[in-house]
Every structure is written in C-alpha cells, then in structure tokens.
Amino acid sequence: MKCYYDLHIHSVLSPDGDDFMTPNNILNMAMLKKLDFVAITDHNSLSQLQTVKNIETSYDFIFIPGVEVTVKEGFDVLCYFHNFDDAETFNQFLQGYLTEDFDVFSPKDQIITDVYDNQIGTVNKSLMTSTLPYQTLYRKAKSLQGICLYAHINRPSKSVLNDYTLNCFKFDGIEIEPYYKTSFLKAHPEYAGYLTLSNSDSHTLMTISERVEYLDLKEKSIDAFFAYFEGGHCQ
C-alpha cells in the first residue's frame, strides 16, 4: 500500500528551527496534510521526544522517533528507531559527543517544550556539530535495531564525500531532496541500488511535505517501515 511520509522535520529544539515549530504544531500540520508516517529529526538530539510521546497517540499517522546526526567525518545521517525507549537510549549516547559552544549558539535557541507549547528547558550544548564517528554511530544504532540513512546526499557541499563515504561505510538507504531526485539519480546511476527517501528537511510549518512522496509498504505500521529498509544498502 502507498504510505505517504515526511521523515525529516526540525522542531524548535534545532537551533535553526522556526519559533512556530513546536511538536503540537508539527503534528497538527502533518495531520492536515494527511501524511501516514512522520518523524521529527532535530540536530544531534532527541530531547523533544518525551513531549511527542505524550501527544502522538492523538493522531492516526505513524510517528517514527528519529534524529539527524552530524558525524565527525562531516556529513549528516538520519537515524530512526522502533520506539521511544530505544530513541531515548540513543539520545543519552549522543550527549557525550556534543561540545560546548556558547559563543556561537545560545542555548535559548534550543528549546524543549511541553504538550502545551510552553518552554520547559533548553539543551546547553551546541546541537550543530558533534564529534561522533560514523562507524560508532552505526554500531550503536544497529544495537538498538535502528536504521541509518545518508542525509540530503544531493547537496553540492556533500559531493566530495559521496563516493568515498558510500564505498567505505554501510547505510540502510539515502535521502535525496524531492526536487533533485530524478536529476541526481540520472547523473549518479551508481546510487540507484540504494533505497531512497525524499523528505522536506523542513524548518518551518509551511514547508512540511504534502501528500506526494510515498513508500510502497505491506501495511501501515512501524514494523512494515523497518522491514522495507532491511538490507537497503547498496549490494
């Protein structure tokens, strides 16, 4: 069955997230757009997920706990987990790889909200970078039955990394931005062996994906989503 998705969305926890990107607003917009699968993937932290856990049962889409991690090698990785407990374990693991950087990013811009959109805390380390090596990330995610996708691989800043990175490291799939998917795969047919997501990478409510991109799954369930990506790296 066709399951429509947007699995790369940033909340107010991300330093570059719009002030209106609270969990409530994000999930309400996803509902209005009739998406089937949704993920909030803040930069290098899953600290917003406790609030999402408290409200996501009010919606009929599948919420997948996720995060966008910037690894030491200089590229970004989308990680997804089966449940909130595994995501919280991974979040605790990530904290040790964040570095203090108050001169560049103020912690007031890394906001954690409650179910009523009130600020209840901040993350006091910069979420724009981490010192986590990819192989270490991959092993930890796999120990929690998670999956790892190379994020927005089409961006020019990533082009010097693509061939080396994909030849050296395993991924469960790649992400290509929607408007570039056809042209990118035409220019790089060697990546056609990867399972692909095309997300919004939204930092504002209005840019959350419409009901366009979909996965053809056995059923609308989180188990079917993860089964789709089993063995998804290039053969």
* pLDDT, tens digit (0-9, with 9 covering 90-100), for 112-150: 999 999 999 999 888 988 999 999 999 999 999 999 999
Distance CA 20, CA 3 (A): 26
In terms of Cβ atoms closer than 10 Å to its own Cβ (0-12, 13-18, 19+), residue 104 is: exposed
**What would the mean pLDDT of 168-197 be, rounded to a whole number?**
90
Query: Other CB atoms closer than 10 Å to residue 110's CB: what's the count?
Result: 26
pLDDT at 233: 45
CATH number of the domain within which 37 lies: 3.20.20.140
Indicate the pairing of strand 66-70 with strand 111-113.
Answer: unpaired
**What would the mean pLDDT of 146-175 be, rounded to a whole number?**
82
Residue 109 φ then ψ, to 5°: -90, 0
Per this entry, what is the length of the chain?
A: 235
Give the SS3 label for residue 196.
Answer: strand
In a domain, 102, yes or no: yes
Q: Tell me the residue range of the domain where 18 lies.
A: 2-228
Greatest alpha-carbon span in the chain: 49
Say which residue the tokens 């969305």 belong to: 9
- Residue 4, pLDDT > 50, answer yes
Distance CA 27, CA 24 (A): 5
In a domain, 71, yes or no: yes
In a domain, 233, yes or no: no
Distance CA 31, CA 73 (A): 36
In a domain, 234, yes or no: no
In a domain, 235, yes or no: no
Q: What is the mean pLDDT of the chain?
A: 90
Give the SS3 label for residue 79.
Answer: strand
The structural domain count of the chain equals 1
In a domain, 214, yes or no: yes
Confidence of residue 166 (pLDDT cuts 50, 70, 90): confident
In a domain, 189, yes or no: yes
Say which residue the tokens 């374990």 belong to: 89
In a domain, 37, yes or no: yes
**What would the mean pLDDT of 63-91 be, rounded to a whole number?**
96
